[in-house]
Amino acid sequence: MKFNFRFIISVFILLYAVITLVFFNFYKELAIKDTKKEANSMLNNMNAIRTYIEEVQRPMIYNLMKDRETFDNYFNSKILSSTYISQYIYEKQLEKKELKYRYKLVATNPLNPIHKANEFETKILEKFRNNEIKDYFSILEENGKSYFFIAKPIGRNKPNCLMCHGNPQDAPKRLLAQYGNHSGFFEKVGDLRAMIYLKIAITDIISYHKSSFVTGGIAMFIVFILFIILIYIIYNKDKKLEDRKELLFEHQNRLAVMGSMIGNISHQWKQPLSHLSSILINIELLSERGNLTNDKVVSKVNDANAQITFMSNTINDFKNFFSPKDNNNSFKISDIVNQSIRLLQASLDRYNIKVEIDIQNDFTFVGSRNEFVQVFVNIINNAKDAFITNEIENRVISIKSFKHFDKTVISIQNNAGKINSLVFDKIFKPYFSTKDLSVATGIGLYICKVIVERYKGTIQAKNLEDGVIFEITFKS
């Protein structure tokens, strides 16, 4: 498997962003859940305090008041009002807490107008009165800010509650003097008079839990970095393995090409060797007959030198092709085409294959000359084999180089017959061949693809009506 490291890193960064978002939301929900649990406990404590005052403290104080005059004159919210006392206790507790809730009691018929319920609070109170809910929790949106809100009902009215909240004529005069007689009266036993709630901004909750967020975030970041390092190690290992495989494939392909080239050398040397032999025989005959003049010697020597030069050029072409010192050279595409044809000339002539060359854009390339020659040799050799297999009579290979918009295209076209459509998608894969693998390596076109892509190009093949065209494309 081949890894694209940049793609993997991009996916991991995206995944990290998604996980971070999920992680933040998870911790946010967890923080709200913890806050809800703590707030529930605080509201239960406040209700427990209120219950103690209403059921124990207040009756005992009333029992100490022996007459009506004392009852009328002694009312003091600091020892008799469960609302005042619970509020005071809460504020004392709040001084020691980092998370600052807003605590409040609200009623639809309060003694103190500051406890008057608004429309939203009244709706919740009605649900408590009708026993629709036992407690209430929601996230409120106010002035573009989110708030945590939790509410609980206080205990329903007991008989002693009506001493202050029943008929105002029965209420302590000090209470009437403090709050008046306009509101907070005419309650009945069993009525639900009020509810208590806690409210706090979500941002304050998050700030309070920021140490957990930061610790979790750092832990996640460390895990992410470890994953990146692990992927990088795997990527490097995989890349080295792929590089070794490609080197092995290229070496195998070069050996296969070398085998066919040795055959080409023998074919290309047959004619000049035969010519040299005839020159020597001719010189010998002329010498025996006494007709060997200086002019004839010069002529025959020049003729022999021409054949030797041809043979020398041929061996130089093969030597250069197999030279390992061939990196970062500048060359014209026409030079590559011509060198490839020269290397294969004997084989092309032997099998009557005509090569047509049309270089409209003779662009300069920088890289390994021999690697590009190898691409042409592989494709032309495949065409030659197809001509023989399919018994094509009129055999033509057409090589063109031209510009197409902002791209340079090299096409190598033949009329050796189509490639079977069932295997067409596999032709650039290693160890795949349309020929018998006992006579083919199955890596020629794969090596072509590797070499072209190494230079940021693409190679593709298309079936034509009577053959195949290979197109190699580079951005100009």
Say what the pLDDT of residue 317 is: 63
pLDDT of residue 327: 64
Average pLDDT, the chain: 82
Is 472:402 a contact under the CB 8 Å cutoff? no
| CA–CA distance, 17 with 363 (Å, rounded to integer) | 46
The top-scoring range by mean pLDDT among 27-31, 197-201, 406-410 is 406-410
Rounded mean pLDDT, 164-187: 87
Alpha-carbon span 375 to 446, nearest angstrom? 10
Tokens of 362: 């003779």
The DSSP code sequence of 274-340 is HHHHHHHHHHHHHHHHT---HHHHHHHHHHHHHHHHHHHHHHHHHHHHT-S---SEEEEHHHHHHHH
Q: Quick one: pLDDT at residue 197? A: 93
**Matching residue, tokens 């040299």:** 276
Minimum mean pLDDT range among 99-113, 120-134, 199-213 = 199-213
381 vs 75, residue with greater confidence: 381
Q: How far is CA 406 from the centre of its chain?
A: 30
Inform me whether the pLDDT recorded for 267 exceeds 60: no
pLDDT at 86: 86
Q: Which pLDDT does position 189 carry in this prediction? A: 92
CATH fold, domain 273-475, is Heat Shock Protein 90 (3.30.565)
Q: Stretch 13-17: mean pLDDT, rounded?
A: 80
Residue 96 has φ and ψ, to the nearest 5°, of: -95, 0
Task: State yes or no: pLDDT of 469 exceeds 90.
Answer: yes
What does the CA dihedral 166, 169, 172, 173 come to, rounded to 10 degrees?
140
Mean pLDDT, range 378-384, rounded to an integer: 90
Cβ partners under 8 Å of residue 125, min gap 6:
106, 107, 108, 117, 153, 192, 194, 195
The position carrying tokens 């650039």 is 428
pLDDT for 310 equals: 66
Indicate the pLDDT class of residue 107, thresholds 50, 70 and 90: very high
> Has residue 136 got a pLDDT over 80?
yes
The residues facing 358 across adjacent strands are 400
pLDDT of residue 1: 43
Return the C-alpha torsion angle 209, 210, 213, 215, nearest 10. Answer: -110
Flag whether pLDDT at 214 surpasses 60: yes
Average pLDDT over residues 217-239: 81
CB 276, CB 305: distance < 8 Å: no
- Torsion sign (Cα): 239, 242, 247, 250: negative
Whether the predicted pLDDT of 325 surpasses 60: no
Q: Pick the closest to residue 135 from 122, 120, 152, 123 (CA basis).
A: 152
Indicate whether 246 pLDDT > 90. Answer: no
Q: Between these two residues, 247 and 323, which has the higher pLDDT value?
A: 247
CB count, 10 Å around CB of 187? 19
Q: How far apart are CA 160 and CA 64, in angstroms?
A: 15
Q: Which residue has the tokens 């096409």?
A: 411
Task: Kindly tell me if the per-residue pLDDT of 222 is higher than 70.
Answer: yes
Alpha carbon of 442 to those of 376, 392, 414, 463: distances in Å?
Answer: 16, 23, 20, 19
Tokens 């103190």 identify what position? 112
Residue 241 — very low, low, confident or very high, per pLDDT cuts 50/70/90? Answer: confident
For residues 55 and 383, the model is more confident at: 383
Burial class of residue 10 (count of CB atoms within 10 Å of its CB; 0-12, 13-18, 19+): exposed
What does the pLDDT look like over 68-101, one tens digit per residue? Answer: 566 656 677 788 888 888 888 888 877 777 667 8
Share of the chain above pLDDT 90, in %: 25
Residue 191 banded pLDDT, cuts 50, 70, 90: very high
CATH 3.30.565.10, the chain: domain bounds: 273-475
- The reported pLDDT for the residue numbered 368 is 82
CA distance 446 to 13: 33
pLDDT at 438 over 50: no
Q: Which two tokens stand for residue 211?
A: 């140490």
